[in-house]
């Protein structure tokens, strides 16, 4: 497994590769959900590149950029255990040499849902993903259905700007009780974890959004940002203490 820490190192390494390349962008603190994307990437192409970068432009000033969990050593062990070819761990100076502005505008997919509560978010995501795509130039990029709206925003971006990378969505990986794995689940106390595990169960139990909302609040969820149907999915974002959980299921 090769570890590269700059775009120029990545370029030199890429010159020696033959065949197709698939790419998995992550913010690290890797769990089985991320590793499932890497396994999907390995099936899609000859070479697999995984990036680890906690992207400042997708966090608002009041959000958890500073406290976001980081554990490079463990991440590298996990990526090595599933034979990842290249891990790209860039610096902010290297990725954003021209400052933090984005030249890519989000479209219809970014309307509502996350944007209503995190208006900065998808601008930050398209900003970093477009920069990573320029650096990696992948044939395929794998994104999790866990962040379902994000997957739609990325698909729309590559189509609108004709980026030449095919986007592949990969299913949500859950724990044994159905809780969608997330790096942010580390923030949850034991008690909160039990409540968080009700989220997916409630989504499956009812067909009426108003009933789901009531059941979630009864189960101990503190606040619901949204629970809505779109893209034949029910999508939810909810708060438990200082942790924001998102999930979605097919309707």
**Footprint on this chain of ligand AMP (rule: CB under 6 A):** 26-27, 33-34, 36-37, 143-144, 146-147, 170, 172-173, 180-183
Pick 102 or 185: Cβ nearer ligand AMP: 185
H or E stretch at 192? helix 190-196
Residue 90 phi/psi, 5° resolution? -80, 165
Q: Cβ of residue 16: shortest distance to ligand AMP, in angstroms?
A: 27
Pick 38 or 202: Cβ nearer ligand AMP: 38
- Nearest one of 140, 139, 144 to 125, comparing CA atoms: 144
Q: Cβ of residue 150: shortest distance to ligand AMP, in angstroms?
A: 6
Tell me if residue 139 falls in helix, strand or coil. coil
Pick 38 or 227: Cβ nearer ligand AMP: 38
Catalytic, 34? Answer yes
* 55 contacts 63 by C-beta, under 8 angstroms: no
Pick 32 or 189: Cβ nearer ligand AMP: 32
Strands 233-240 and 243-250 turn out to be: antiparallel
Strands 140-144 and 21-26 turn out to be: parallel
Q: Cβ of residue 74: shortest distance to ligand AMP, in angstroms?
A: 14
Out of 31, 34, 120, 222, which one is annotated catalytic? Answer: 34
Q: Cβ of residue 210: shortest distance to ligand AMP, in angstroms?
A: 27
Sheet (strand 21-26) strand order: 2-4, 86-88, 47-52, 21-26, 140-144, 166-170
Q: Cβ of residue 125: shortest distance to ligand AMP, in angstroms?
A: 9
Q: What is the DSSP letter of 173?
A: P
- Nearest one of 143, 106, 107, 116 to 26, comparing CA atoms: 143
Q: How far is CA 34 from the centre of its chain?
A: 9
Task: Tell me how far apart the 2 most distant CA atoms of the chain are, in Å.
Answer: 57
**Neighbouring C-beta atoms of residue 67, cutoff 10 Å:** 9
Pick 183 or 200: Cβ nearer ligand AMP: 183
Which residues are marked as active site? Answer: 34
């Amino acid at each position: 497994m090769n570890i590269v820490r700059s775009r120029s190192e990545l370029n030199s390494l890429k010159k020696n590769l033959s065949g197709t390349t698939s790419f998995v962008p992550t913010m690290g603190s890797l769990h089985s959900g991320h590793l499932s994307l890497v396994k999907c990437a390995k099936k899609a192409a000859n070479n697999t590149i995984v990036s680890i970068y906690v992207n400042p432009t997708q966090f608002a000033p009041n959000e958890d950029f500073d406290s976001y969990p980081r554990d490079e050593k463990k991440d590298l062990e996990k990526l090595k255990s599933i034979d990842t070819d290249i891990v790209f761990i860039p610096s902010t100076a290297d990725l954003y040499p021209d400052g933090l502005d984005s030249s890519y505008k989000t479209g219809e997919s970014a309307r509502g849902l996350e944007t209503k509560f995190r208006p900065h978010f998808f601008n930050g995501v398209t900003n970093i993903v477009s920069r990573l795509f320029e650096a990696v130039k992948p044939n395929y990029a794998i994104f999790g259905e866990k962040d379902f709206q994000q997957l739609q925003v990325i698909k729309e971006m590559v189509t609108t700007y004709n980026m030449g990378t095919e986007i592949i969505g990969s299913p949500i990986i859950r724990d044994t009780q159905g809780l969608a794995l997330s790096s942010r689940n580390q923030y949850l106390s034991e008690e909160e974890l039990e409540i968080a595990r009700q989220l997916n169960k409630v989504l499956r139990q009812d067909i009426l959004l108003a009933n789901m909302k009531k059941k979630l609040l009864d189960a101990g969820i503190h606040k619901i940002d949204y629970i809505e149907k779109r893209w034949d999915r029910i999508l939810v974002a909810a708060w438990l203490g200082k942790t924001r959980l998102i999930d979605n299921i097919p309707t």
